[in-house]
Amino acid sequence: MKIIGINASQRNNGNSYQLLKSALEGAKGESNGLIETKVLQLADFEIKPCAAHYSGLHEFKNWGCGKKPYKCILKDDFEEVFQRMIDADGIIIAAPLYYPVPAKLVALMERLMAIVYFAKKADKNYVWPLTGKPFGAMATSYEDSNILVLKILRKFGFIARMYLVREAKNKVFSVDAKGGVEKNPKSLGEAKKLGSLVAKILIKRKERAKKKREI
Ligand SMILES: Cc1cc2nc3c(=O)[nH]c(=O)nc-3n(C[C@H](O)[C@H](O)[C@H](O)COP(=O)(O)O)c2cc1C
């Protein structure tokens, strides 16, 4: 099983990366060698904004990602990032507050949500490949609250039909590293917990599937 950590910052090795490292350590700690992890740094990829190719100007015409094979027709690294998300069993995104979030993350979310929305509109039988994947959200800032960043990430997880990681009493669990990891070292422990929650879901699902096969 594989968990991918997506660093949405334009800085490759800053706070978001530290949070991801901690989360992925937490996941590995739970997994007894069953889970491999990978960090993907959005700064290394070219992702253009959605160009709204799905329709004509005044009516829905089903082209671009609204037409079979429901792929984005822009040429850049989006397809590679999407494929890496598809290949992963669990996804964690860490994003800094850029008021509100880095433009490349916005571009990624726009393009993913355009596919899931317009493909489903055009074809009820379209199978969205991120469905049900456990999804964890983390945010970091210099000094301000990250509520806005986490709202955006959670909403994205919901629209992308992933499963938002939860703690006790079914409460969605995400990490707010307000002030960055140096000023807020407790956030690294929370990131570790988030990673372990993602891993636990995957392990539980694997055990359930094994039991089903044995019946
Ligand atoms: C364009 C931009 C806007 C930012 N806006 C804010 C802000 O409004 N409030 C804040 O506390 N930090 C803000 N920051 C700082 C980053 O959120 C903060 O340094 C964060 O920890 C950086 O994460 P990173 O180390 O993963 O890049 C901003 C940074 C950038 C580049």
Q: Which of 97, 104, 144, 184 to mutate to test the pocket of ligand 1 (most atoms within 8 A of CB)?
A: 97
Token pair, residue 207, equals: 């055990």
DSSP secondary structure letters along 129-189: TTTT-EEEEEEE-SSS--HHHHHHHHHHHHHTT-EE-B-GGG-B--EEETTHHHH-THHHH
Token pair, residue 140, equals: 């970091």
Q: Which of 127, 137, 132 is nearest to 16 (CA)?
A: 137
- pLDDT tens digit sequence for 157-175: 999 999 999 998 999 999 9
Is residue 1 pLDDT above 80, yes or no? yes
Give every CB contact of residue 200 below 8 A, 6+ residues apart in sequence.
Answer: 30
**Is ligand 1 within 6 A of the CB of residue 141?**
yes
164 backbone dihedrals φ, ψ, rounded to 5°: -70, 125
Torsional sign, CA 22, 28, 31, 35: positive
Give the per-residue pLDDT at 29.
93
Whether 8 and 93 have beta carbons less than 8 Å apart is answered as yes
| Rounded Cα gap, residues 51 and 53, in angstroms | 6
- pLDDT tens digit sequence for 102-152: 999 999 999 999 999 989 988 999 999 999 999 999 999 999 999 999 999
Greatest alpha-carbon span in the chain? 55
Ligand 1 atom with the smallest distance to the CA of 18 is 26
- pLDDT tens digit sequence for 55-101: 765 565 667 898 899 999 999 999 999 999 999 999 999 999 998 99
* Complete domains list, the chain, with CATH: 2-48+78-117+130-214 (3.40.50.360)
Give residue 155 CA to ligand 1 midpoint distance, Å.
Answer: 21
Give residue 91 CA to ligand 1 midpoint distance, Å.
Answer: 22
Token pair, residue 174, equals: 């995400």
Across the strands, what pairs with 36? 2
